[in-house]
Amino acid sequence: MIDDVARATATITVTDLRQYNYCPRVVYFTGMVPRPLTGKMREGLVAHEEEIDREHRRSLRPYKLDDGERFYKVRLCDTTLGLSAVLDMLVVRDTEVIPIEHKMSNGPIAGTHRAQLMAYGLLASSSYGLSAKRGFVYWLPRRRATEVPFTADLETKTRRLTATVREIRAREALPEPTPQLEKCTDCEFRRFCGDRPRR
pLDDT of residue 38: 55
Has residue 39 been placed in a domain? Answer: yes
pLDDT of residue 3: 45
Has residue 197 been placed in a domain? Answer: no
**pLDDT score of 8 more than 60:** no
Whole-number average pLDDT of the chain = 84
pLDDT of residue 72: 93
Asked if residue 77 lies in contact with residue 9, where contact means CB atoms within 8 angstroms, the answer is: yes
Q: How far apart are CA 199 and CA 194, in angstroms?
A: 13
pLDDT-based confidence at residue 161 (cuts at 50, 70, 90)? very high
- CATH of residue 140: 3.90.320.10
End-to-end CA distance of the chain: 25
Has residue 36 been placed in a domain? Answer: yes
Q: How far apart are CA 154 and CA 199, in angstroms?
A: 38
* Domains: count for the chain: 1
Has residue 199 been placed in a domain? Answer: no
* Domain extent at residue 147: 4-192
